[in-house]
Chain A
Amino acid sequence: MKTGTKTWSVPVFWGLVILVACVLPFVVSNYHTFQLTLVLVYAIALLGLNILTGYNGQISLGHGAFYALGAYCAAILMDKASAPYWATVPAAAVVCLVAGFLFGLPALRLEGLYLALATFALGVAMPQLLKYHALEKWTGGVQGIVINKPDAPAFFPNMGLPLNPDQWLYFFTLAIMLIMFILAWNLLRGRIGRALVAIRDQHIAAEAMGIHNAFYKSLAFGVSAMYTGVAGALGAIAVQFVAPDSFNIFLSIVFLVGIVIGGLGSIAGAVYGALFIQFVPNIADEISKAAPWAIFGVFMIVFVYLMPTGVAGALRLITRRRAP
């Protein structure tokens, strides 16, 4: 696989990261724990988009729509069906897997720019669909849906480890994120992953070699939508509110920015990208009250100049150079 890096350094690195992630909620404030929960949520969403765009080369400018779909799944189930919060996550996963796959089927005919436009159309249309008055009974229309924050399950305080709702939600999200990341890692380093990358790099040759392009491309769409939908559900639970205009085209664009800055075709890139899209706007706001998005734009340009293959790509270069 990777030549030159010591084979144990990767699991050690991830082990340390997970350890730090588990300790953080106990040393930082609830507000920061909430922010970190959002980082985890975005990481799952970005991994979803990365599977489609980074590994499979299909550009999506509309992934915010799948995020919205997952979020509304969770909200409607919790609000109208009184479903427990943890059940909404697999429900959102299934719904988005199907939706993604169904969208991916006609999208097979479109390449590059034209696919970008089709996904762009999806991203733009989503808020309108959510506001549509015929669906208002379910979606709450423009007023949105308010959700209650779940409390930690009883056995934690009984074990002498009282977790407040923010901390509990953080660990819940972290657990799901780790599961999904491991699943993705497994998927991408195996046959399916290689097929996806082959389709991205040379799709005619891939077809000629016996890879069923149509199946894998639609699968990529479905899986990608599933990941982003799960993120949407977790995000809705964390923020406790969904409204149509939270999921506009700008969200989709921010996701795209996230995976490029984080690193296309990289699982760790999803985490770097999530950190970027969560914290850099706040930093930009501190630097300039008058034109914060201009500062954010400057950050984006600087990152792309210094690291055209993303943070993950840059790190890969550095570790490779260090190797004997």
Chain B
Amino acid sequence: MRKALLFGLMAAALAAPAMAQKKYDPGATDKEIKIGNTNPYSGPASAYGQIGKAIAAYFKMVNDQGGVNGRMINFISYDDGYSPPKTVEMARKLVEQDQVLFLFQTLGTPSNTAIHKYMNAKKVPQLFVATGASKWNDPKHFPWTMGWQPNYHTEGMIYAKHILQTKPDAKIAILYQNDDYGKDYLKGMEDGLGQKASMIVAKASYEVSDPTIDSQIVQLQASGANVFFQATTPKFAAQAIRKVYDIGWKPVHYLNNVSISVGSVLQPAGLEKSIGIITAGYQKEHSDPRFANDAGMNKWRAFMKKYMPDGNLDDNFNVYGYGVGQTLVQALKQCGDNLTRENVMRQAASLKNVQIDTLLPGITISTSSTDYAPIEAVQLQKFDGKRWELFGDVMSSAQ
């Protein structure tokens, strides 16, 4: 009897410091971690809603495999229809009513801009936002907001640098979507060309509501340009690629990396019409024969087969969702039992060369308290009619 009591006291004494290390903010308990998200599942940007679905499936897999440090992920995702007022409403619901630990992968630049101040005022992490705008890498003013993908502005700059290096006599034409997404790329290219910005001889924009962009392509060809850069979303990317070929225009052709999916963009456009297109990618493609037996992609394929059996293997949104989900799980694992919002942010800013199954070889995730850009490296690749052929070195956008 006394021995049992002694044992009990010892156990309690040993357990006490361990229990004292468990720290929770709203949304985290012994059993679960509540994560909030908004995605456009409806409206003009509904194609991006696929990312939300992929992430949800990924977390299901993580839960089936035991969760993160024994805790199940409770992923709550609301539709904001790509409308900022709705994003504000849903974000407030997640933070104030559903009491989530943090927001993850909220999608869209205007949507995230609308909640930017709110999240930082409330000191709730706005983590790995799904937009490539450059303003998310600002730890000094907005320490609770962090992006994930390489930003659009830098991507534009990389193409500009490549043009300056390889085609100094270039006359550049640019097709861009008339919103923050397209304009960010445009600015990136203009900034990248610097003094030589006059190399841009023609710019044409389009609205998401435009049925076709044929007129814009015809305009751009008429300018006499010999280099063409398109900052377009998948549907318009396919239209543009096809039209450029059909009218017999053969410029040096750059495509932004949101729309490089072989299955969902290049194939509808016409594989033979896409030969020679250059992009700066950071993710692996399922149809690339080089990754047919890649360990990381095989894990992704197994995930798709079991958790998204109807999912399109050629849709790179599914690759994206997996990759960003894996990044988050790594950060959460590093948190251990200290699941305060502050620690989540700290761990997210302490990722050191994390390998992700779906990122190109040589590209890893690194963050620090002054570097809130997890992926800064991209690799130029050219389409040869069957797959994206990498060339050159992995280019870091931190210049």
Could you list which residues of chain A lie within 8 angstroms of chain B, going by C-beta atoms?
29-32, 34-35, 38, 124, 128, 131, 141-144, 146, 148, 235, 239-241, 243, 245-246, 248, 250, 285, 289, 292-293
Contact = CB atoms under 8 A, between A and B. Distances in A.
A243 B113 contact: yes
Contact of A38 (B89, B109, B113, B180): B89
B67 to A, nearest CB: 22
Interface in B23-82: 41-44, 77-79, 82
A292 B113 contact: no
B83 A292 contact: no
A-B pairs with lowest CB-CB distance, top 4? A31-B96, A241-B114, A243-B110, A142-B180
A235 B113 CA distance: 17
A35 B89 contact: yes
Nearest to B179: A142
B116 interface: yes
Interface residues of B, number: 30
Contacts of A144: 84, 110, 113-114
Given A29-B96, A239-B84, A241-B84, A141 B114 contact: no
A164 B326 CA distance: 39
A146 B84 contact: no
Interface string B100-142: 0000000001100110111000000000000000000000000
A293 B303 CA distance: 29
Please indicate which of the listed interface residues A38, A131, A246 has the most CB atoms of chain B within 10 Å of its own CB. A246
B97 interface: yes
Given A240-B118, A245-B84, A289-B77, 10 more contacts: A29-B97, A38-B89, A131-B178, A131-B179, A143-B109, A241-B110, A241-B114, A245-B110, A285-B78, A292-B41
Given A241-B84, A292-B42, A34 B110 contact: no
A246 B180 contact: no
A143 B113 contact: yes
A239 B88 contact: yes
B235 interface: no
Contacts of B43: 250
Contacts, number: 77
B174 to A, nearest CB: 14
Given A35-B89, A289-B41, A241 B113 contact: yes
B136 to A, nearest CB: 13
Contact of B79 (A124, A239, A248, A292): A292
Nearest to A128: B207
A38 B88 CA distance: 12
Residue among B77, B89, B97, B183 with max Cβ neighbours from chain A (10 Å): B89
B41 A239 contact: no
Contacts of A32: 97
Contacts of A289: 41, 77, 79
A34 B42 contact: no
A133 to B, nearest CB: 9
Contacts of B82: 245
B94 to A, nearest CB: 9
Nearest to A41: B85
Contacts of A141: 183
Contacts of B243: none
B183 A239 contact: no
B93 interface: yes
Contacts of A240: 88, 114, 117-118
Contacts of B44: 248
Contacts of B183: 141-142
B180 A143 contact: yes
A31 B42 contact: no
B92 interface: yes
Contacts of A146: 113-114, 116-117
Contact of A34 (B83, B89, B117): B89
Contacts of A248: 44
Interface in B189-233: 207, 209
A239 B111 CA distance: 12
Contacts of A235: 85
Contacts of A131: 178-179
13 contacts: A30-B92, A31-B92, A31-B93, A32-B97, A34-B89, A35-B89, A131-B179, A142-B179, A144-B113, A240-B114, A245-B179, A292-B79, A293-B42
A246 B89 contact: no
Nearest to A294: B42
Nearest to B42: A293
Which of B41, B83, B85, B109 has the most A CB atoms < 10 Å from its CB? Answer: B85
Contacts of A34: 89, 92
Contacts of B113: 143-144, 146, 241, 243
B114 A239 contact: yes
Contacts of B41: 289, 292
A270 to B, nearest CB: 19
B7 to A, nearest CB: 47
Contacts of A239: 84-85, 88, 114
